[in-house]
Chain A
Amino acid sequence: MTQERPSQICIVTVTGVDKVGIVAKLATVMARANINIVDINQKILEDTFVMTMAVDIAGAKIGMDKIKASLDAVGSQMALKITIQDENIFKAMHRV
């Protein structure tokens, strides 16, 4: 029996123009940091490509500040806006 580790879910949001390699690049960042990808969704909203990726950072080897810096680097490379936020902020704002 393995003991279940508590999870800490964050939502990575990508907005901009869809292109080849977005998931691949993000997956590489996550794998390097030992972050598990839990779920991926994408849609076109108000003519903008929006992708959300739920990730579990409980086992991450680096802090939120470093994760954010890696995502910012991918964002500027691919001309996308990428944010990462703890899931609880969305639950607080969108669930009564």
Chain B
Amino acid sequence: MRISVEEVYETVRMTLDHHFDIRTVTLGINLKDCIDRDLAAMVQRVRDRIVQKGQLLNRCADRIVYKYGIPITNRRIAITPASLLLEPLPHTKATVVRFAKALDAATRKADIDFLGGFGAMVQKGTTAAEENLIEAIPEALSKTQRICGFLNLASTHAGMNMNAIARMGHILRDLAFRSDNGVGCAKIAVFANVPEDNPFMAGAHHGIGEPDYSLNIGISGPGVVRNVVAKNPDCDLTQLSEVIKRTVFKITRAGELIGREMAGLMGVPFGIVDISLAPTTSTGDSVAEIIEAMGVGQIGSPGSTAALALLIDAVKKGGAMASGNVGGLSGTFIPVSEDEGMIRAVRAGTLSLEKLEALTSVCSVGLDMFAVPGDTEPEVISAIIADELAIGVANHKTTSVRIIPAPGRKAGDILHFGGLLGSAPVMKVPGTSAARFILRRGRMPAPISSLRN
């Protein structure tokens, strides 16, 4: 049966009026075979591969955009965690920074907007090479433009590496103070239970369980979902869940088709579709506005957590029906600075840091793109991270933190990052310091629920 005018129009409106896009096509690249005791030799091999595959990724993405008329907003590369590649090399900051700069130059040459994977898996403990990489992060990320960092600091199976978490407060502050408005911290996310195939930045990396290449797709359509919710102002919540499921089914199918075809064109295996709803600063492309269209006055008010739980559940059910390859983060992103509705709610005083943390317990992906005063103590930053990662560890889910300590700014100020990163109202950090707790260090044991065997 030929497609009807109504069906065509529905799809066309999704892209023309409601910001439906393929948010990212991310090529995961294994670089383990490039490891060498000579940095120059390794850099040469890594650079050649990134430039060649990055250019191919761009060419294929352009062809697919013309064929299907759905924009592919970002083209990205995720690599094997850099700490593994640096293991046999001298444990000096200079080595780490030289490698970061080489990756940055290759990414620029391939015309790829971001490369992720500059990080380490340290949920249980830290090797000397990993410690060296962590110490070099402020310099490496502030001297490069397109490199994104990640650290897995905790997992349900290993517990929480509180030594590394305690250190991160200092590292993130150092990184923030090297850039305008602390925006350097937008390029690094710390995780509990990090997925190995997440296509979204800043946390993407190509995990050690992955094949040589893997093409992963991040779809997105908060605007599309908000539109169907707004069109159903009076139905009950069971029906509302059904309406959202159907819509997410459609956009996931589009992502699956485009992912498979991209992978085929490139001659690489297709990995996963990440069905996360990811907002942008464009008007109407907001997750907060979906919650508000459901009937919650403003996100952050009582009712927000329940509404978000309903939303994410419907998204997962619709997505899982549409594709057998749903993976990555597949949650709902609630970054503060990148979502107009979230920004409004913080400015109005409706959304606090405490409520933001509560929201992350039912969706993913954690406390994202929020600013705190520049004089926030490193131990308090570490404590915010520890709280958020504990939610992930205890609930067998991914959580992350992307925090911007804003140099010289106080609560209530607004930081303007521009572009995709939007603008962040500086949020009040309540209470007193938990320095004594953080400085105990050690490893928080894995929860009893990890003993499933």
Give chain A's interface residues, CB within 8 Å of chain B: 11, 13, 15, 39, 41-43, 45, 50-52, 54, 63-65, 68, 81, 83-94
Contacts and interface: CB of A to CB of B under 8 A. Distances in A.
Given A54-B2, A83-B16, A87-B3, A13 B67 contact: no
Interface residues of B, number: 25
Q: Which of A39, A83, A92 has the most chain B CB atoms closer than 10 A to its own CB? A: A92
Closest 7 CB pairs of A and B: A85-B69, A64-B66, A90-B3, A92-B257, A93-B250, A92-B253, A94-B7
Contacts, number: 75
Given A15-B12, A88-B257, 16 more contacts: A13-B9, A45-B5, A45-B6, A52-B9, A54-B2, A64-B67, A83-B16, A83-B69, A86-B67, A90-B8, A91-B3, A92-B254, A93-B11, A93-B253, A93-B254, A94-B11
B196 interface: no
B256 interface: yes
Contacts of B9: 13, 15, 45, 50, 52
A1 B2 CA distance: 28
B70 interface: yes
Q: Which of A65, A87, A91, A94 has the most chain B CB atoms closer than 10 A to its own CB? A: A94
Contact of A92 (B12, B69, B256): B256
Interface of B: 2-12, 15-16, 63, 66-70, 250-251, 253-254, 256-257
A80 to B, nearest CB: 12
Nearest to A63: B66
B66 A89 contact: no
A83 B8 CA distance: 11
A89 B6 contact: no
Contacts of A94: 3, 7, 10-11, 250
B225 to A, nearest CB: 15
Contacts of B68: 85-86, 88-89
A88 B70 CA distance: 12
